[in-house]
Amino acid sequence: MVDVVVSFAVEKLGDALISETFFLLGVRTKVEGLRDELKRMKCFLKDADAKDRKGDERVRNWIKEIRNLAHDAEDVIDTYILKVDSIPKTEGIRNFLSRKLLMVRNMGRLHKVGNEILAIQARLKAISDSRVAYGIKDLGDNETNQSMIQHPQRNRHPHVEDDVVGFEKHTETLLTELMKDEKRRCVVSIVGVGGLGKTTLAKKIYNHDSVKSHFECCGWSSISQQLNVKDALGEIARKCMTLSDDEFGKINKMKEDHLIEKVYKYLQDKLYFIVLDDVWESAHWDSLSLALPTGKRGSKVLLTTRKEDVASRADPDPSLQFQPDLLNDEESWELFCRKAFHNAVKDGCSSDLEELGREMVRKCGGLPLGICVLGGLLAGRRSNI
């Protein structure tokens, strides 16, 4: 029975990810994390159910906690749908912009949804940790496990383009820092709130011609809230070592400590550049840094994170921590028009709609992610309006 409850919660969370407003404020990432964790928990429910039938009271309570948590997850999504995503859909460009403005005004409620999901995730982690004490094993849902293997990391913000207004200065500053011939391996961090464009800026740096020509090997790894060291290092190995599919398959079968050693040995005599995108905890850095040697003089790591303590743990030098500025009103409007009207600012948005559009953009608070999403949504609807 509890398996059905969890499955229903997973389905509801998946449906919620289709919602356009979940792209805002990083809430989509939180919903994805909760859904994936519930999927993992399904793998343990078969064993838990078998132990429950044998009369294990502790396991019975464990199952009850999962059931209650799944119901709470459904309630959070239902509340969101009722209060935030129930704005009537009407025809016409003015009505469309008005709907988006109401959506942005509901960001406070959306932020609350995000916090509630984080609280549920914390409860779920405690429940997951306790299963070891109860002797509950993974009896695996093959479909779930395969899904996790095939999609260990997802592109969390598909609407964010590489061409973001106001990043030119930051790009030049970071490139200058990364090209310095330091004796030690330096870790440069891009720090800031979700939606600030940290990943987009890191991509611009990673794909820059001067970076590709300066370093002997470059690697990128997207880090999730629930760090999987093997997945993260596997990404780095694949990009740095240019592995074939067969070679990558062998890497995936390695034990974690062996993979750490292999990556370390490969990089130790290289001038390398590694990007670790979206590092959530200092402990995550500690685990990954074991595979990152000093390397040749001038090797660099670029790290993106929401937390200053993570950046300080990776490298205590405050001069290596960069925080992109929020966009000002004109930069925000320019970015919105690029996404919504393909740069046709004057022709794409008539004067009677500009005031409404600017108000909508101001509500994004200068965050490139929110502006890109709203502009992308409008661009996707223009042909039908």
Most confident among 14-18, 35-39, 88-92, 222-226 (mean pLDDT):
222-226
Average pLDDT score over the chain: 73
In 3D space, the residue among 380, 381, 382, 322 whose CA is nearest the CA of residue 158 turns out to be 380
- The pLDDT score that the predictor gives to residue 326 is 85
- The pLDDT score that the predictor gives to residue 13 is 46
Structural contact between residues 242 and 269, judged by C-beta atoms closer than 8 angstroms: no
- Given a cut of 80, is residue 43 above it in pLDDT? no
Percent of the chain surpassing pLDDT 90:
19
- The pLDDT score that the predictor gives to residue 183 is 83
Please tell me the distance from the alpha carbon of residue 190 to that of residue 287, in angstroms, as a whole number. Answer: 19
For 232-261, the pLDDT digits (tens) are: 888 888 888 877 777 777 877 888 899 999
Q: Is 50 exposed, middle or buried (0-12, 13-18, 19+ CB in 10 A)?
A: middle
Most confident among 68-82, 196-210, 322-336, 346-360 (mean pLDDT):
196-210
Q: What is the 3-class SS of the chain, one letter each residue?
A: CHHHHHHHHHHHHHHHCCCHHHHHHHHHHHHHHHHHHHHHHHHHHHHHHHHHHCCCHHHHHHHHHHHHHHHHHHHHHHHHHHHCCCCCCCCCHHHHHHHHHHHHHCHHHHHHHHHHHHHHHHHHHHHHHHHHHCCCCCCCCHHHHHHHHHCCCCCCCCCCCCCCCCCHHHHHHHHHHHCCCCCCCEEEEEECCCCCCHHHHHHHHHCCHHHHHHCCEEEEEECCCCCCHHHHHHHHHHHHHCCCHHHHHHHHCCCHHHHHHHHHHHHCCCCEEEEEECCCCHHHHHHHHCCCCCCCCCCEEEEEECCHHHHHHHCCCHHHEECCCCCCHHHHHHHHHHHHHCCCHHHHCCHHHHHHHHHHHHCCCCCHHHHHHHHHHHHHHHHHC
For 255-313, the pLDDT digits (tens) are: 889 999 999 999 988 999 999 999 999 999 999 999 998 878 889 999 999 999 999 99
Structural contact between residues 113 and 48, judged by C-beta atoms closer than 8 angstroms: no
Please tell me the distance from the alpha carbon of residue 170 to that of residue 53, in angstroms, as a whole number. Answer: 60
Domain residue extents for the chain: 2-150, 168-322, 329-384
In 3D space, the residue among 79, 96, 67 whose CA is nearest the CA of residue 378 turns out to be 96
For the domain spanning 168-322, the CATH number is: 3.40.50.300
- The pLDDT score that the predictor gives to residue 159 is 38
- Given a cut of 80, is residue 193 above it in pLDDT? yes
Q: Helices 57-83 and 27-53 meet at what angle, rounded to 10?
A: 150
Q: How confident is the model at residue 109 (pLDDT cuts 50, 70, 90)?
A: low
C-alpha distance from residue 80 to each of 85, 114, 278 (Å): 7, 10, 26
For 146-166, the pLDDT digits (tens) are: 433 333 444 443 334 455 666
- The pLDDT score that the predictor gives to residue 79 is 63
In 3D space, the residue among 299, 302, 295, 373 whose CA is nearest the CA of residue 339 turns out to be 373
Q: How confident is the model at residue 377 (pLDDT cuts 50, 70, 90)?
A: low
Mean pLDDT lowest among 94-98, 122-126, 183-187, 270-274: 94-98
